[in-house]
Amino acid sequence: MENEHYFSREPKSRIKETLVSYSFLGKKLEFYCVSGVFSSRGIDFATSLLLHNAQLGNGWKVLDLGCGIGVIGISVKKAYSSCDVVLSDINNRALKYAEKNTKLNKVDVDIVSSDLFENLDGKFDTIITNPPHHAGRDVVYKIIEQSFDHLNDGGCLQLVAKHSKGGKMLEKKMNEVFGNCSALVKKSGWRVYCSRR
């Protein structure tokens, strides 16, 4: 079998589920993690770091780009019920489990099958992503470049990366595209970068 990645459209690996508990801003959540989707055995450190340090506000339109099983978008909707939240991914198994986790956590979000911004309409107040670093720098650069046109004025792109493993280059690219970039948090070599339109 050829190598399979979590950013594949149709994962072929055998399905193995794990149910995990999670907490965000005092809200208790549960998620089914699954093989063939990023962070298949639990919620990874980088996603949690991004979520717990993201800039968010009531009533915002939020995009969880490359949502995987939906941890970021579902958690945001649970804590900020007035937000309009969209989850998107290219991986069909991820989308199926994002839907399953949406029902499990009793939240109402939109789930869209999309290769980056291909099937996404409208603009957002924030785009939050733990980008697919293993897909290569060009893909992550596209996320940064295309995010600019999908943000409202004053909206922000927030992403997480290991600074010594490409994060420094992403920070530079965000500065080039947006004219600004700040690190919201630095922890264990990881940084949450934020650029505002």
**Phi-psi category of residue 23: left, alpha or beta, with phi > 0 → left and psi -120 to 50 → alpha:** beta
User: 9 in a domain, yes or no?
Assistant: no
Tell me what pLDDT residue 2 has. 39
In terms of residue numbers, what domain contains 30?
Answer: 17-196
CATH number of 81's domain:
3.40.50.150
Please indicate, yes or no, if residue 6 is contained in any of the structural domains.
Answer: no
Does residue 3 lie within any of the structural domains?
no
Residue 41 domain-assigned?
yes
How would residue 3 be classed by pLDDT, with cut points 50, 70 and 90? very low
**What Rg, from alpha-carbon coordinates, does the chain have?**
15
* Domain count within the chain: 1
Q: Which CA distances in Å does 174 have to 46, 60, 144, 181, 182?
A: 19, 22, 6, 6, 9
pLDDT tens-place string over residues 51-69: 999 999 999 999 999 999 9
Whether the pLDDT of residue 7 is over 70: the answer is: no
- Burial of residue 153 (CB within 10 Å: 0-12, 13-18, 19+) is exposed
Structure confidence by residue, pLDDT tens digits, 122-172? 999 999 999 986 767 899 999 999 999 999 999 999 999 998 888 999 999
**Which pair of structure tokens corresponds to residue 70?**
């939906």
Average pLDDT over residues 67-85: 97
- Is residue 2 in a domain? no
